[in-house]
Structure formats: structure tokens, C-alpha cells
Structure 1
Amino acid sequence: MKQWIFLAAAIVSEVIATSALKSTESFTRPIPSVIVVVGYVLAIYLLGLTLKTIPVGIAYAIWAGMGVVLVALVSWLAFGQRLDLPAVLGICLIIAGVAVINLFSKTAVH
């Protein structure tokens, strides 16, 4: 069970880092820059812990897919970026793909 907590924390860390990236203003602002660097380092570390028990293909697919979905949602909520119908449909397909991996794949650790 803890491998899924590590993976969830890796995803959240990556989303925080990516969401703060624009605020760095090309890494000229120290506080957002530190948030980005620490967030990415933590995300990679936690992903590495996840890979002790979850196959890399499965872990990375979930990490990347949920990262895309969450960054899109943060961008919409925090930065007012609009999502058109194709973007929303694509996000729904990503979520469906992650669900299929977790619910039906025999390679995913449950």
C-alpha cells in the first residue's frame, strides 16, 4: 500500500513544481525557483521508491497521466486557462486509461 502513497506524493510534488515553474520568471525569482527544484527532486525520489514494487511502465504511465490531468486542472483553477471540449475529452481519456491500468492490468501491483 505504501508504494501507492509514494506514487501519489510523487505526482503531487511534480504538479506543485510544474505549477510554480512560470512564477520563477526564468529562475530569476528565488522562492518559486526553490519550490520548483525541491518539488522535482522530491518527485523523482518518491518515484524511485515507487519503482521498488511497481513496474516502471505502470508507475510512469500513472505518474505522467495524472500529472497532466492535475496540471491542467490547476492551470484552469489557479491561472484561468480555459479548457475547450477536446482538452476536457482528452483529460477524461487519460483518467480512463489510468483507471483501466489500475483496475484490470495484471502487471499493476494491487
Structure 2
Amino acid sequence: MNPVVIGYSFLALAIVFEVLGTTFLVKSEQFTRLMPTVLMAVLYIGSFYFLSQTLKTIPLGIAYAIWGGVGIVLTAIIGFVIFKQSIDLPAILGIILIISGVVVIDVFSQTVGH
């Protein structure tokens, strides 16, 4: 299999684990609930493991920008849908800018072959 495809697969797993970890961070209620706290820690460790595997084929700056950007967007969506947190117009515009930045990096950057 193509190493770049493997790298992006690891990156996708890192993002999913990070977003789930952040969701359990909220559920841990400032580390006062044991199981959500443990799940959060395991998911964050998994996220960093998969992110480290990503770095075998995708440069740090590109991987981190995508990991952080997509994670922010997904976390905002989860906050809105699951935790009923409001998102105002400036937040929506910021999310659109983040998505735009990730697309520009992924589509136009010559740092990683596609």
C-alpha cells in the first residue's frame, strides 16, 4: 500500500482518538469521574501514538495543521450537537477559515505527494 495513504490513515485515527478524548475530557468533570478520565487518557495516548506514526510519511507541520484543524472543527460540532453549546457567527467564520486552511494545505502543498 502507498505510504502516503497509510500516513493519512494514521492521521485520521489520530484525529478520531483526539476528538473522542476531548469529548471524554468534558465527561470527566475535571477528573472527578474515574471512567471518563481513564478513557480520556487512553484516547489521548492513542491519538499521539497514531500521530507519531503519521510522521513517518507526512511532515510534522502538515500533519499537525491537519490534526489540529480537523480536530477543532469536529470538537466544535460535537460541542454543538452533543453538549448543546452555542456557536455564534464569528465562531462559524473561524471554523470556515480553519477548514479552508486545511484544504489549501492538503490540496496545494507540494510537501507531501498525493
What is the RMSD computed on CA atoms of the aligned residues? 0.8
Q: Report SS of the residue matched to 2:82.
A: helix
- The Cα shift of 1:26 comes to 2.2
Q: Which runs of 5+ in 2 are unaligned?
A: none
Q: What does residue 8 of structure 1 align with?
A: 12
TM-score, normalisation: structure 1: 0.96
Q: Write out the 4+ residue segments of structure 1 that deviate beyond 2 Å after TM superposition.
A: none
Q: What does residue 39 of structure 1 align with?
A: 43
Q: What does residue 89 of structure 2 align with?
A: 85
Asked if the contact 1:50/1:59 (under 8 Å) is kept, the reply is yes
Q: What does residue 23 of structure 1 align with?
A: 27
Identity of aligned residues (%): 53
Counterparts of 2:56 and 2:65, CA distance in 1? 16
Counterparts of 2:80 and 2:33, CA distance in 1? 23
Question: May I ask how many residue pairs the two structures share in their alignment?
Answer: 110
- The Cα shift of 1:108 comes to 2.7
TM-score, normalisation: structure 2: 0.93
Q: Which runs of 5+ in 1 are unaligned?
A: none
- What per-residue deviation string (whole Å, max 9, x for no partner) do you get for residues 54-76 of structure 1? 00000000000111101000000
